[in-house]
Amino acid sequence: MFWSKIFLPTLKDSPQDAEVISHQLMLRAGMIRKVTSGIYTWLPLGLRVLKKIENIVREEMDASGAQEVLMPMVQPRELWEETKRWEKMGPELLRFQDRHDRDFCLGPTHEEVITDLVRNNVKSYKELPLNLYQIQTKFRDEIRPRYGVMRGREFLMKDSYSFNIDKDSLNESYLLMKETYKKIIERLGLEYKIVKADSGAIGGDASEEFHVLAENGEDTIAVSDSSEFAINTELLLGEGEDINSLQGKPSPDGTGTIEIRKGIEIGHIFQLGEIYADAMNANVLDHEGKSQTIFMGCYGIGISRLVAAAIEQNNDDKGIIWPEIIAPFEVNIIAIGFGKDKMIAQAAIDIYDKLSSMGYEVILDDRNDGFGTKMKDAELIGIPINIIIGKQYTEKNEIELRHRDGQSSIGMIDDIETIFEYFKKENN
């Protein structure tokens, strides 16, 4: 991809209404643009990151044995009446009518639709356990959409639902999803905590949240300073108590003392038990031929929110510092004087072709701007490796490799493949 062609409108200054760093940087780096409150368009650069995260989630879900489906975004009122959530959900559920005056809503989550699918198509315990997932746009009419895609009204989620014959099997599916979520977040290279949580509107028994630790996190979590223990402070505090009263107290698990951290909830797993299946009559025949209510679990991970969370953890005053695995491009070639100097242009294109044919995702800055502008934009969009080619090349046959983290080295252009791979390894 060439900079002169890609639709990448970067901004020098932070837009006024962007409060947190990820929101500012996503706007400045030309990743997203606001359409209306809590609703965004993803531009090419942002979409590349979103898709990379989506694919990592998909790979790990597939590896866990879960199967991908795609449910509709529009859901009929009747299904929501069965679970009584048509009333319970309140104004977050966006309702509307079709031309026949029938009531519908935009799916904020899919327990009703998936339970309907399974009750109609699964008859025996032999077909369980079953774990179905989708990666899909959700709509929740959030009272306070904010921080860009971090708390949007329309957002991309991976949601999955397990169907089990009993509590033990549900527990196994739950633990498998917990491991899968750990793998996903570890692959993304993010620092996180698994936090005991409130089940909220979804209901059910056990529930844990995955939080990416970040100063701008909306949630306050209490973590032990010497064990894995972490709990959402919502669960520890009574009415009117404030958070300071927790600080330095002994950790509820008996190990260490409490520290208060800020977190961004990026995933949430629940053991729903029988509540949905009971309400919707989702039964199977057990091994004795008796009808048995299905046990369910549900598991969500916020894909668009993960993009913002990754930026909250990986930035400096110049811009984003992408973890290699989700960087929109792996290499940025900064060609200084591309339009004026044929030798530089040709050398830059050669490097571009070589690295592309090695399988790297490369972007070439062929614009007519000077080094300063190009470097500023490069640092803003945060590509891991920059290759700078300019006067030094025409004079001494040298190019510079500069990592977004600050390391740099000079190399001769003739052996770019070897130099590049060596530099990449050194900086990993």
Residues in contact with Mg ion by the rule CB under 5 A = 268
Please report how close the Cβ of residue 155 comes to ligand ADP at its closest, in angstroms.
4
Cβ 348 vs Cβ 336: under 8 Å: no
Measured from the CB atom, the residue of 300 and 337 that comes closer to ligand ADP is 300
Which span (73-81, 222-230, 302-310, 362-370) binds ligand ADP, by CB under 6 A? 302-310
Site for ligand ADP contains 9 (CB under 6 A): no
Distance CA 314, CA 220 (A): 20
- Residue 314 interface partner, choices ligand ADP, Mg ion, none, CB cut-off 5-8 Å depending on type: none
Which span (184-192, 262-270, 333-341, 400-408) binds ligand ADP, by CB under 6 A? 262-270
Please report how close the Cβ of residue 263 comes to ligand ADP at its closest, in angstroms.
11
Distance of CA 367 to the CA centre of its chain: 32
Please report how close the Cβ of residue 123 comes to ligand ADP at its closest, in angstroms.
29
Site for ligand ADP in 309-328 (CB under 6 A): none
Give me the count of residues in the chain. Answer: 428
Alpha helix locations (H) across 122-190?
167-187
Q: How far lies 109's CA from each of 62, 220, 269, 362, 390, in Å?
A: 21, 24, 13, 37, 53
Distance CA 304, CA 310 (A): 10
Which span (77-85, 148-156, 322-330, 398-406) binds ligand ADP, by CB under 6 A? 148-156
Cβ 52 vs Cβ 325: under 8 Å: yes
Among positions 28, 52, 196, 305, the unique one binding ligand ADP when judged by CB under 6 A: 305
Distance CA 260, CA 246 (A): 8
Cβ 196 vs Cβ 221: under 8 Å: no
Which span (215-223, 265-273, 401-409, 420-428) binds ligand ADP, by CB under 6 A? 265-273
Among positions 50, 157, 230, 419, the unique one binding ligand ADP when judged by CB under 6 A: 157
Site for ligand ADP contains 142 (CB under 6 A): yes
**3-state secondary structure (DSSP) of residue 287:** coil
Please report how close the Cβ of residue 249 comes to ligand ADP at its closest, in angstroms.
26
Site for ligand ADP in 94-113 (CB under 6 A): 109
Site for ligand ADP contains 267 (CB under 6 A): yes
- Residue 266 interface partner, choices Mg ion, ligand ADP, none, CB cut-off 5-8 Å depending on type: ligand ADP
Strands (E), 127-206: 130-139, 154-164, 192-196
- End-to-end alpha carbon distance in the chain: 24
Site for ligand ADP contains 299 (CB under 6 A): no
Strands (E), 43-189: 67-68, 74-76, 95-97, 103-106, 130-139, 154-164
Please report how close the Cβ of residue 85 comes to ligand ADP at its closest, in angstroms.
13
Site for ligand ADP contains 196 (CB under 6 A): no
Residue with tokens 């080619």: 389
Site for ligand ADP contains 300 (CB under 6 A): yes
Among positions 265, 312, 330, 366, the unique one binding ligand ADP when judged by CB under 6 A: 265
Cβ 384 vs Cβ 401: under 8 Å: no
Among positions 52, 151, 403, 404, the unique one binding ligand ADP when judged by CB under 6 A: 151
Longest C-alpha distance within the chain, in Å?
A: 84
Please report how close the Cβ of residue 92 comes to ligand ADP at its closest, in angstroms.
9
Q: How far lies 130's CA from each of 36, 64, 383, in Å?
A: 38, 11, 40
Residues in contact with ligand ADP by the rule CB under 6 A: 109, 140, 142, 151-152, 155, 157, 200, 202, 265-268, 300, 302, 304-305
